[in-house]
Amino acid sequence: MTGSTTSTLTIGQAVETLLRDGMPVRFRAYDGSVAGPPDAELGLELRTPRGLSYLLTAPGDLGMARAYVSGDLVVHGVHPGAPYAVMRLLQNHLRFRKPTPGELVTLVRGLGLGHLKPPPPPPQEHLPRWRRAVEGLRHSLTRDAEVISHHYDVSNAFYRHVLGPSMAYTCAVYPDADASLEEAQAEKFDLVCRKLDLRPGQRLLDVGCGWGGMVRHAAREYGVKALGVTLSREQASWAKEAIDRDGLGDLAEVRHSDYREVLETDFDAVSSIGLLEHVGVRNYPAYFSFLRERLRPEGRLLNHCITRHDNAVTETGAFIDRYVFPDGELTGSGTIIATAQDAGLEVVHEENLRRHYAMTLRDWCANLVEHWDECVAEVGEGTARVWGLYMAGSRLGFERNEIQLHQVLAVRTGEDGSDGLPLRPTW
């Protein structure tokens, strides 16, 4: 970099200064400056000074998300409901280098000190962790209810557009590469039923039941009496209507409740599909102990959740924590299995469905693109942008093996060691 520390610096020059290998897409800023190849198919446009302030005051994914969600940073060449292609290109080729102290001073002065005053974040952003801590103990009943409502009580119509008729907001299981999303979601629920060996007349508890897909599938296809619980009022309302519409009221029930408030015991099976991500790693022992106590001897538990590729405990990144899953934590399948065993459960099988979740997210993004206008009308463009960004980024995470999806099957073994299992898996 040349010039005095008081000279004006264009945004395009600043970008080129900090990149090791050059900008892989065409970049254009509101000051008229550009960077990157002029013939690139994909492009980024920084439209406003506020967008620059977001990028400078919250470096990394949070600043980018704020600028993108607010419409100050626009992606060209991809649909806002599925920015996967540009995110993949940037992750593969966008490498920043650390500036020297002198260069940093030049950058800040050249771009203008006024940009270092943080603008108010977009309205879709949740409180930071320290503010949530002030307002309630992490993973208390009250705080968990609040953060679940933040994500799930958006709009049932919006979720219907994105998730499809199944209203299943968890990893699907694709029986083959050409299977539709609906076929894959039905296969997921059926796989869980088969692993739990559900039979007519048995009792199933589904914790974190969402819109009741597992509850209704188990009742309809296997004749079990199924109870589901969810912290989302919108989910519970939708699920109750679906149960009545399907004529399953004598077998299926969904409650607006925390799973820790379920008093019944002696269930033949417990399914937990996408709940553990919200529990908190420190609460795993209490979680597995509680579910074990809900089971009869020889009863089975199927836990289905997102995991890390290793067993480190990692809080979600700033974007995910503020915009998608407040208070979310992930760790590896080894930690989950060990904690289940320490709680007195016998783990009998585990399976990694990582690639299936990447395919699921691909199909959700396609639904968001197809129904973009309806989704924007339902929740606003900013929230729709959040979902496109989060699902495309998550798809990349699963494809790159940064995150995984594990199903862990366990049994409450009887005092005499009986487990009720066949010699070989039947599913």
On whether the CB atoms of residues 18 and 97 are closer than 8 A, the answer is yes
Residue 4 inside a domain? The answer is no
Do 259 and 399 reside in the same domain of the chain?
Answer: yes
Condensed to tens digits (0 to 9), the pLDDT of residues 228-286 reads 999 999 999 999 999 999 999 999 999 999 999 999 999 999 999 999 999 999 999 99
248 in a domain, yes or no? yes
Is 50 found in the same domain as 16?
A: yes
Question: Domain end: 116, 133, 168, which one?
Answer: 116
Q: Is residue 397 part of a domain?
A: yes
Q: In the block, which residue shows the tokens 């490498």?
A: 95
pLDDT of residue 318: 84
pLDDT of residue 4: 40
Asked whether 326 and 132 are in contact (CB, 8 A), the reply is yes
Residues 338 and 267 in one domain: yes
Q: Rounded mean pLDDT of the chain?
A: 89
User: Domain for residue 3, yes or no?
Assistant: no
- Same domain? For 111 and 147 the reply is no
Do 97 and 155 fall within a single domain? no
391 versus 97: the higher-pLDDT residue is 391
Q: Is the dihedral of CA 49, 54, 59, 65 positive or negative?
A: negative
Per-residue confidence band for 13, with pLDDT thresholds at 50, 70 and 90? confident
Amino acid found at 355: R
Residues 88, 160 within the same domain: no
Q: Domain span at residue 252? A: 142-411
What pLDDT, on the 0 to 100 scale, is given for residue 61?
82
Q: Is the residue at 391 inside a domain?
A: yes
Half-sphere exposure of 132 (CA within 13 A, CB side): 22
Q: At 284, which CATH number? A: 3.40.50.150
In a domain, 69, yes or no: yes
Q: Is the dihedral of CA 4, 5, 7, 13 positive or negative?
A: positive
pLDDT band at 59; cut points 50, 70, 90: confident
Q: Are residues 28 and 164 in the same domain?
A: no
Question: Is residue 5 pLDDT above 80, yes or no?
Answer: no
Q: Yes or no: say if 159 and 383 are a contact pair by the CB < 8 Å rule.
A: no
* Confidence bin at 320 (pLDDT 50/70/90): confident
Residue among 33, 15, 41 at smallest CA distance from 94: 15
Q: What is the CATH number of the domain that holds 90?
A: 3.30.1050
Residue 131 lies in a domain: no
> Same structural domain for residues 71 and 203?
no
> So what's the pLDDT on residue 313?
82
Shared domain for 248 and 336, answered yes or no, is yes
DSSP label at residue 208: S
Q: How many domains does the chain have?
A: 2
Q: Is residue 237 part of a domain?
A: yes
Assess whether 32 and 155 both reside in one domain.
no
**Which of 252, 260, 258 has the alpha carbon at shortest distance from 203?**
252
State whether 152 and 274 are in the same domain. Answer: yes
Residue, of 327 and 194, whose pLDDT is higher: 194
Q: Which secondary-structure segment (H or E) carries 404? A: strand 403-411
pTM, to two decimals: 0.89
> What is the average per-residue pLDDT within 47-55?
92
Q: Helix H segments across 140-180?
A: 141-152, 156-163
- Do 110 and 162 lie in one domain? The reply is no
